[in-house]
Chains A and B, each alone.
Chain A
Amino acid sequence: MRSSVMVEEPVLLLLPFSSDWPIRIDSSPCLSQWEVGSALLENMSPMKLCVPGDKLCSEEDCIPGTGVYLRHGYIYSALAGYVLKKNEGEKRPVISVVRETEAQLLPDVGAIVTCKVTSINPRFAKVQILYVGSTPLKDRFRGTIRKEDVRATEKDKVEIYKSFRPGDIVLAKVISLGDIQSNYLLTTAENELGVVVAHSEAGAQMIPISWCEMQCPCTQAKEFRKVARVQPEYLQA
């Protein structure tokens, strides 16, 4: 049984995105604006502009990153932006092309996404994906959290009504892109995944008191949810 989170005052629940979370942004050819800005400032020399089709270097010099493609042993740019070379500790630097403005990001398998529950059903919960990692999506994608993917233990005894309610903000991980019939399949079967923000039936934002319960500060009523364990550094004591 996990230790319960005891707080006296309402906790500022920031969405926790530390760098060791398994966020895969391989298919996204851009960094956040903050990272690009800092990279631009660090590089005192003006960064090289490139356009799609520009030959950047040969495969022996660098490893292809995002925004580039490999053809006949040479690395070419696939985007109009700046060339970024990073030394990741391997023999060759990783070369990628970044844009300053956000390009469209798609949730990838293994990515942590923030979503809002739109409807529930005894077998699954339907959600709308709002953020992938820390980047907001311009378009809303839909996902499904099946009953057996809510928890890691006692999967058959899960009740969706006691885990999620419509309007909850949930942190989940993408397990599948889905097939023709279904949307993205998500899971909350980890300690750090689950409901982060929920409102009680009275309308107030609830405080988590354990991994399966949240309490309303106004009416003191307890409601069942599958609560995400927020990283300790994001809690204000």
Chain B
Amino acid sequence: MAGLELLSDQGYRLDGRKAAELRKVQARMGVFAQADGSAYLEQGNTKALAVVYGPHEMRGSRSRALHDRAVINCQYSMATFSTAERKRRPHGDRKSTEMSLHLKQTFEAAVMTQLFPRSQIDIYVKILQSDGGNYSVCVNAATLAVINAGIPMRDYVCACTVGFVDETPLADLCYAEESGGVSSLALALLPRGGQIALLQMDARLHQDHLESLIEAAMTACKGVSKVLDEVVRQHLQEASVLTRE
């Protein structure tokens, strides 16, 4: 489409950001009192709500319990009003199932499940408004919710979606960029150790560009982790001020 440049000559993107700039992240922990852990996170216009229950006894089939660690059960769903057109099927469709599986794999890498044998940890994430980078926002929101629940984790899990346009990696894609034919890569990182929890890409990219794209993704994730760190520390300060007499 003429006039809709993903990256202008001056280096500005569709929403006015620079190539490596992230969207504004705002988050709150402990939004629900009845769940063990909960968090609400906005990254630009993408809004996600994550709720964590557990660890608790296995529900449903006891045979799926693991004798030495906890089972992490994730469910990803989108609100029907989250996209431009009303979503017909919020749960159970192929994309949601795939996302749930990715979230499960990501958190199995970070949560210390061996401390809770034969139990289950549930992570439910709901996208309230979808504007690109759904998986990343879910991971970030779920990290805060897991920390709020007091479940031991090795490190934060921060995720970011990056794309490649005109030889430049763009960090934190929005919906217009994702649907504009950009090769997007989603990366979930444990920032302190620099360990990758999940890397997902289903587009075409030349092998020479992969290195720089992953580098850009890791830098973006570390930026996200700084913001999440601030949120967690502030929440701890507030919580202690409230409970201290």
Which A residues lie at the B interface, using CB under 8 A? 27, 29-30, 33, 37, 40, 49, 51-53, 55, 67, 69, 71, 76, 78-82, 99-104, 106, 138-139, 141-142, 177-181
Say if the beta carbon of B133 comes within 8 Å of chain A.
Answer: no
Partner among B62, B115, B237, B244 whose Cβ is within 8 Å of the Cβ of A180: B62
Residues of B near A106 (CB, < 8 A) are 55, 116, 119
Pair B115/A27 contact, Cβ less than 8 Å: yes
Partner among A29, A141, A142 whose Cβ is within 8 Å of the Cβ of B150: A29
B59 to chain A, nearest CB (A): 10
Say if the beta carbon of B229 comes within 8 Å of chain A.
Answer: yes
Pair B67/A179 contact, Cβ less than 8 Å: yes
Pair A67/B152 contact, Cβ less than 8 Å: yes
Pair B240/A100 contact, Cβ less than 8 Å: yes
Query: Please, how many residues of chain B have a CB less than 8 angstroms from a CB on the other chain?
Result: 40
Binds A, one of B9-17, B153-161, B179-187: B153-161
Residues of B near A100 (CB, < 8 A) are 239-240, 243
| Known A100-B243, A101-B239, A180-B65; further 4 A-B contacts with Cβ < 8 A | A81-B236, A82-B240, A100-B239, A180-B62
Pair B36/A52 contact, Cβ less than 8 Å: no
A43 to chain B, nearest CB (A): 12
Partner among B55, B63, B153, B243 whose Cβ is within 8 Å of the Cβ of A78: B153
Say if the beta carbon of B118 comes within 8 Å of chain A.
Answer: yes
Residues of A near B156 (CB, < 8 A) are 51-53
The verdict on A51 contacting B233 (CB below 8 Å), with A104-B36, A106-B119 known, is: yes
Chosen A-B contacts, 9 in total, with CB atoms closer than 8 Å, are A51-B232, A79-B152, A80-B235, A99-B150, A100-B239, A103-B150, A104-B149, A104-B150, A179-B67
Which B residues lie at the A interface, using CB under 8 A? 36, 54-57, 62-63, 65, 67, 112, 115-119, 147-156, 190-193, 229, 232-233, 235-237, 239-240, 243-245
Residues of B near A139 (CB, < 8 A) are 56-57
Residues of B near A178 (CB, < 8 A) are 118
**A78 (CB) vs chain B CBs: closest residue:** B152
Partner among B149, B153, B193, B236 whose Cβ is within 8 Å of the Cβ of A49: B236
B234 to chain A, nearest CB (A): 10
Pair B57/A142 contact, Cβ less than 8 Å: yes
**B30 (CB) vs chain A CBs: closest residue:** A101
Report the bound CA distance from A141 to B119 in whole Å.
10
Report the bound CA distance from A69 to B156 in whole Å.
14
Partner among B118, B151, B191 whose Cβ is within 8 Å of the Cβ of A53: B191
Report the bound CA distance from A152 to B111 in whole Å.
40
Report the bound CA distance from A55 to B155 in whole Å.
10
Report the bound CA distance from A33 to B156 in whole Å.
25
Most buried by B among A82, A106, A142: A106
Most buried by B among A55, A78, A138, A177: A78
Q: Closest 3 interchain pairs by CB?
A: A53-B155, A103-B150, A78-B152
Residues of A near B192 (CB, < 8 A) are 53, 55, 76
Pair A53/B190 contact, Cβ less than 8 Å: yes
A118 to chain B, nearest CB (A): 14
B33 to chain A, nearest CB (A): 11
**B70 (CB) vs chain A CBs: closest residue:** A106
Residues of B near A69 (CB, < 8 A) are 112, 152, 154
Pair B154/A104 contact, Cβ less than 8 Å: no
Residues of B near A99 (CB, < 8 A) are 150
